[in-house]
Amino acid sequence: MSEPTGALALDDLFDRRLSFPDSDARARFSRLVGIDGPKERMCKLLGILSNPEGAAAWGRKHHRDARQLIDYVQRMPPLVVFAGDVGTGKTELAETIGDAVARQEGHSVTLYPMSLSTRGSGRVGEMTKLIAAAFDAAVTHARRLKRASGPSSGSIILLIDEADALAQSRENSQMHHEDRAGVNALIRGIDRFAEARLPAVVILCTNRLSALDPAVRRRAADIFAFTRPNDEQRRAVLTKPLQELGFSPKHISELVTITGPGRKDGLGFTFSDLTQRLLPSLVIDAYPDKPVTFQRAAQVASMITPTPAFRDS
């Protein structure tokens, strides 16, 4: 369903729109194991950023005199950056955390994933127009949710994946003037959210944190660094599905070691290497007439090459 935004439709600006709470998103979010601490912190931060009245209500309940402190909290820029290597769960978390925030705050959350087509075709002024139109649509929706007093009736998350494609540093002398204008439009959009204290937050996902414009990074309320899973995190991912196959704790520990960084390249498996490559490969290898054995699972794991590291330069 398309809703006009000037001469553009929402479907021209966003890949899709997702509403939370949603049972499928909840299941996907729960499968992101091994990062419980960051997940909890991000839920709290996004709850405050997308629901400015939530912090005020907390202050009235627990610290009635902390008015200046609450004002500082409410003035945090409504921007969070998820940065890290490929396959470390940035996009999956960004696409599902809205469900956790919706349940935490007790109101609906709508995710607007900005389409990379907002870069346009290179015509002068096109990218700036598309980015501005995307923020116009988000602001219009957020204003409908904001109430004159009390908590909002909902909130929105504007997700920009591969954000370095839209927010690359203007300090690059080779940068085209149209790209500079696009970064300016992005910054103006973030500032519009902040100035109006709308129930909205922007999430930027990037593999190249250093490529983001300094003004964008400076506006981030927080930058979450995603890394490849350590031994404990890989164990958290592998334990349940391997227990279901009848593997012993010793066998699971051996597979945790095999999938670790003890290889020539020094790279361990990413989260997606574990969940999208290794575990499905165990089933594919045994299908249709053999069970999965530890010996064969160890061989399959040893044959999989971890995703190469993304070079942030």
What are the domain boundaries of the chain?
Answer: 4-226, 231-303
Whether 2 has a pLDDT exceeding 50, the answer reads no
Query: What mean pLDDT do residues 153-176 have?
Result: 83
Beta bridge partners of 83: 206, 225
Query: What mean pLDDT do residues 129-135 have?
Result: 89
Whether 142 has a pLDDT exceeding 50, the answer reads yes
Whether the model clears a pTM of 0.85, i.e. scores above it, the answer is yes
Query: What mean pLDDT do residues 282-303 have?
Result: 97
Whether 199 has a pLDDT exceeding 50, the answer reads yes
Mean pLDDT, all residues of the chain: 89
pLDDT digits (tens, 9 = 90+) for 79-130: 999 999 888 999 999 999 999 999 999 999 999 998 766 555 555 467 788 8
Q: Which two tokens stand for residue 9?
A: 């439709």
Whether 274 has a pLDDT exceeding 90, the answer reads yes
How many CA atoms within 13 Å lie on the side-chain side of 154?
18
Quickly state the pLDDT bin for 151 (edges 50, 70, 90): confident
Of 12-16, 150-154, 221-225, highest mean pLDDT: 221-225
**pLDDT at residue 174, rounded to an integer:** 65
**pLDDT at residue 53, rounded to an integer:** 85
Please give the CATH number for the structural domain made up of 4-226: 3.40.50.300
